[in-house]
Amino acid sequence: MIETLADQKLMELFRRGQPLPAGYGRRLDERVVECPWAISKVQSGPGLLLDAGSVLNAPMFLGAPELSQQRIIIYSLEMDSVRLDPRLSYLHGDFRDPVLRDGIFDNIVCISTVEHIGMWPIPKPPYDVTLKQPQPEKDLLAYRGVMKTFHDLLKPGGRLLLTVPFGKAEDQDWLQVFGAEQIEGVKQSFGGECASETYYRHTADGWQTARSEECALLEYFNIVRTPEFGPDFAAAARAVACLELVRKA
């Protein structure tokens, strides 16, 4: 990942949604395409960025040139660590009831987070025991309200850089896989403009750009339910949707 973020030619492929080199990210999970895609799309120059879900909170991401002039608020229900960096601020919270002021962010980066909203808690080992515990009722449409929240948090012209697992729409207990209907729901609920829509698909030869139709029937690899890898050695999602959504000026 560090090599990818430092390779400006490769990052330009992500920014433009163009095909990736053969064998890229073979046997790695979707973060290997989601994170470079989102970082490559961050508007250049000084700005205020919201990391919705605390994915960028790692030195390899924070060291990316695209983030060097960004002040970053990391907002999440859970965080692995807190770093002493003058660019960073941390808030614990739920995007269904945020404690943030509207119209202040230039960019929002939300990497594989909204598919967990309204679902069961992410299981921790031992997985089979966790999933047997009583759980609250799920809300598969909770992401729609969050899209409206993201729209309102952005400045006019600000961008939401959103990624979600894509393919056959499925309830995977602690997350849902988004299909074409859910992607349309995301765009409609946000209410702004879709500046770009890029899909990446995993195969045994690595990650590559694809059309949404090519990914529509792909199934998520759930290591909790199926402990053994398939022939493509997918680590989690077999496809992801990457949406660049803009609040109208």
**Helices 8-16 and 31-41: angle between axes, nearest 10 degrees:** 90
The DSSP bridge partners found for residue 244 are: 161, 196
pLDDT on residue 167: 97
2-246 has which fold? Answer: Rossmann fold (3.40.50)
- Name 101's Cβ contacts closer than 8 Å, sequence gap at least 6: 153
H-helix segments, the chain: 2-6, 8-16, 31-41, 59-62, 127-130, 142-153, 180-190, 212-215
pLDDT on residue 1: 73
The DSSP bridge partners found for residue 75 are: 52, 91
pLDDT on residue 43: 82
Reported as a pLDDT band with limits 50, 70 and 90, residue 94 is confident
What are the domain boundaries of the chain?
2-246
Phi and psi at 195, nearest 5°, equal -75, -30
Strand locations in the chain (E): 47-52, 70-76, 88-92, 105-111, 154-165, 170-171, 176-177, 193-203, 206-210, 239-246
- Name 242's Cβ contacts closer than 8 Å, sequence gap at least 6: 17, 33, 34, 37, 38, 161, 162, 163, 196, 197, 198, 199, 200
Considering only 90-104, 181-195, 234-248, which range has the smallest mean pLDDT? 90-104
Residue with tokens 């994915």: 55
Segment 172-206, tens digit of pLDDT: 888 999 999 999 999 999 999 999 999 999 999 99
Question: What is this structure's pTM?
Answer: 0.91
